[in-house]
Structure 1
Amino acid sequence: MDKKNHIEYKEPKKILTPTSGFLHGYTHSLNPYTGCLFGCSYCYVRQSPVGLFRKEEWGSWVDVKQGIKEKLTREMTNIRKKNKQVTIFMSSATDPYQSIEYKENVTRALLEAMIESPPDFLFVQTRSPLITRDIDLFLKLKDCLRISITVETDRDTIRKTFSPSAPPIQARLKAIRELREHHLPVQVAIAPVLPFSEEFPETLSQLVDRIVIDDFYTGDGSNGKRTERLKIKELYSEDEKERWYGKRTHEYAYEQMKKAFSTEQILFSKEGFMPY
């Protein structure tokens, strides 16, 4: 692990968090870590309490949650005793497959717990090809599962500008292909939409039959205000700003994606992240 990264080990009181707002369709969110070493420039968590009140740069620290396999099993058992559904979004404020997961296996331990006591629905959101490591576990959960892989662009030069510590685009596409070869339910999240090539829609259509489009205005939870505070607009070239940064960016992306997908295969923002 890079020495500049600050890693701490903490034992939370609870692991499941009741949801509201953007994730109101779920009963709980589940974050294996606090903080995220991918440190994407546009991450809305930078502007959330966990990002603002920690006096360290977002992307330079992560708290590894301890003892959470047992906590998850216990919490789910207690919820089941009340005859309630458990629908889980993993993860809302971190990437469950960020680089430290190679060593810590926290996410894998949580999946193992879910195999013993499956949720009614599990949504796994990541941008990391490490997710393919857990195909054996996903196959046991496939009847209540959706995997969502973020691919904001097909241009790795753009990825390096906006999220240089995130995994390369080609590695993500390869991971999607491998997940689909095992007949797992996978969608691509173009979230947020970043400048992409004319070939991008066709590339994705060869991999998945479901995509979700999100932009800075519909997806940051504040109608674009969080993104404006992060000064993301400054990362765009002058030629890119008009088409790729604004309230109609998702409409442009939609028109491009329609060249390779049917309208039923393209979802927008919140609807693409909801259960079932």
Structure 2
Amino acid sequence: MKQEYMYKYPKTLLNKGTGFLAGYSHSLNPYTGCSFGCSYCYVRQMPVSIFRNAQWGTWVDIKQDAAAIVRKELRRAKAKGPVTIFMSSSTDPYQPIEHKEQITRSLLEVMVSDPPDFLFVQTRSPLVRRDIDLLLRLGDKVRVSMTVETDREEIRKHFSPEAPPIPARLKTLQLLAEAGVPVQATIAPMLPSSEAFPQLLHAAVNRVCLDDYFMGDGSGGKRTRNLGIQALYKQLGLEEWYHPSAYRIVYDRLRQVFSEDQIYVSQKGFEP
């Protein structure tokens, strides 16, 4: 998919944590837009996407001087109380363009020199492995949450053809964990998977978060329904996976491999 990149000069980057992220003092998005353009992404329904006049997944805005802005904002925020940051809430902080631009890396450098109380890094990109050196310096003040919605590549290609392959994500989780970075696998949104999925995850992590459209899109599944996601399940003849109780299929399978205190459901798995 052809990408359009624009440089933006924001005045602020740390936003107040609200709604699903109310457990955090702030959210932080190094980019606006997302090259992965997943079919089920709730951001498609948000003003940032609706008023863009360009298809979601075809554009990314690169936030210039991000490190300098966050350095200042972080100092100010810390003077007022504990600072917990969710990165990112409406984009992936490891966009393909991050290879070149290194906005996210520059933000991690700021946080290494002036650590927040906690940083949660949400991504589906293997590029996060590049920053193991910085993540290790944050110690137990960071957790990397890698989205792994399924173990079936044909399912991943059906719902999010532009997203990184599942094997590369599992390998990245393993590398991070072996290096000593706190990690979790996040099955969100849960897509149809095989019975062997929990074993694959168990080889890499000891903490899993499970979420679906109905618990996790902030509207009880309405936002996702408006995207016409059900049709994608129909095409595969897998409608039974698109249901508020379907998460139990995966939860019960996870319980055969993970202990109850290693499995987090929906919002709890994203909290600081």
The interval holding the TM-score normalised by the smaller chain is: over 0.9
**Residue 107 of structure 2: aligned partner:** 110
TM-score normalised by the chain length of structure 1: 0.96
- The aligned amino acid for 2:15 is T
CA distance in 1, matches of 2:95, 2:230: 26
CA distance in 2, matches of 1:134, 1:218: 31
**Residue 11 of structure 1: aligned partner:** 9
Aligned length: 271
- The aligned amino acid for 1:120 is D
Residues 181/238 of structure 1: CA separation in 2 closer, same or farther (3 Å cut): closer
TM-score normalised by the chain length of structure 2: 0.98
Q: Secondary structure, in 3 states, of the residue corresponding to 2:185?
A: strand
1:238 CA drift (Å) = 5.6
Q: Which residue of 77, 89, 101 maps to 2:98?
A: 101
Mark the runs of 5 or more structure 1 residues left unpaired by the alignment.
none
1:11 CA drift (Å) = 0.7
1:239 CA drift (Å) = 3.4
User: Does residue 1:137 correspond to 2:138, yes or no?
Assistant: no
- The aligned amino acid for 2:207 is R
**Residue 118 of structure 2: aligned partner:** 121
Cα displacement string for residues 1-54 of structure 1 (whole angstroms, at most 9, x for unaligned residues): x6x211100010101000110000000000000000000000010011111111
CA distance in 2, matches of 1:80, 1:256: 42
1:143 CA drift (Å) = 2.3
CA distance in 1, matches of 2:139, 2:12: 26
CA distance in 1, matches of 2:180, 2:134: 13
Cα displacement string for residues 48-89 of structure 1 (whole angstroms, at most 9, x for unaligned residues): 11111111100000100000101111011112233x111000
CA distance in 2, matches of 1:89, 1:10: 21
CA distance in 2, matches of 1:39, 1:80: 34
CA distance in 2, matches of 1:260, 1:79: 41
Cα displacement string for residues 115-170 of structure 1 (whole angstroms, at most 9, x for unaligned residues): 11100000000000000000000010122011100000000000000000000000
**Residue 170 of structure 1: aligned partner:** 167
CA distance in 2, matches of 1:215, 1:174: 24
Cα displacement string for residues 98-123 of structure 1 (whole angstroms, at most 9, x for unaligned residues): 21111110000000011111000000
Identity %: 56
1:47-86 equivalent positions in 2, closer than 5 A: 47-82=45-80, 84-86=81-83
CA distance in 2, matches of 1:79, 1:6: 33
Q: Secondary structure, in 3 states, of the residue corresponding to 2:62?
A: strand
Q: Which residue of 218, 236, 256 maps to 2:215?
A: 218
**Residue 201 of structure 1: aligned partner:** 198
**Residue 192 of structure 1: aligned partner:** 189
CA distance in 1, matches of 2:269, 2:170: 19
Cα displacement string for residues 167-223 of structure 1 (whole angstroms, at most 9, x for unaligned residues): 000000110110011011100000011011111011111111110100110111111
User: Does residue 1:230 correspond to 2:233, yes or no?
Assistant: no
1:238-253 equivalent positions in 2, closer than 5 A: 239-242=237-240, 244-253=241-250
**Residue 43 of structure 2: aligned partner:** 45
Contact 2:78 2:116 in 1 (8 A): no
